Amino acid sequence: MSNFRILPAGDRAFVVEFGDVISRAVNAKALELDARLATAAPPGIIETVPTFRSLLICFDPSICSPEKLFAAVARLAEAQNETSVETRRWRVPVCYQPPYAIDLEDIARYADVSTNDVASIHAALPQHIYMLGFLPGQPYLGDLNDILALPRRRSPRPKVAAGSVGIAGRMTCVFPRETPCGLNVIGRCPLALSQSQGRPRFLLSPGDQVIFEPISVREFDLLSQSPAGDASAFERYQIS
Structure confidence at residue 155 (pLDDT): 95
Architecture of domain 89-237: Beta Barrel (2.40)
Q: What is the DSSP string of 143-198?
A: ---GGG-PPPPSS-EEEE-TTEEEEETTEEEE-SS-EEE-SEEEEE--S-SB-SSS
Better pLDDT: 170 or 193: 170
pTM for the whole structure = 0.91
Distance CA 207, CA 94 (A): 20
Structure confidence at residue 233 (pLDDT): 59
Fold (CATH) for 5-78 = Gyrase A; domain 2 (3.30.1360)
Q: Is 49 helix (H, G, I), strand (E, B) or coil?
A: strand
Q: 72 burial class (0-12, 13-18, 19+ CB within 10 angstroms)?
A: middle
Structure confidence at residue 4 (pLDDT): 93
Q: What percent of the chain has pLDDT over 90?
A: 80
Q: pLDDT of 88-135, one tens digit each?
A: 999 999 999 999 999 999 999 999 999 999 999 999 999 999 999 999
Q: pLDDT of 68-90, one tens digit each?
A: 999 999 999 988 566 667 789 99
Domain ranges, ordered by start, for the chain: 5-78, 89-237
Whether pLDDT at 228 is above 70: no
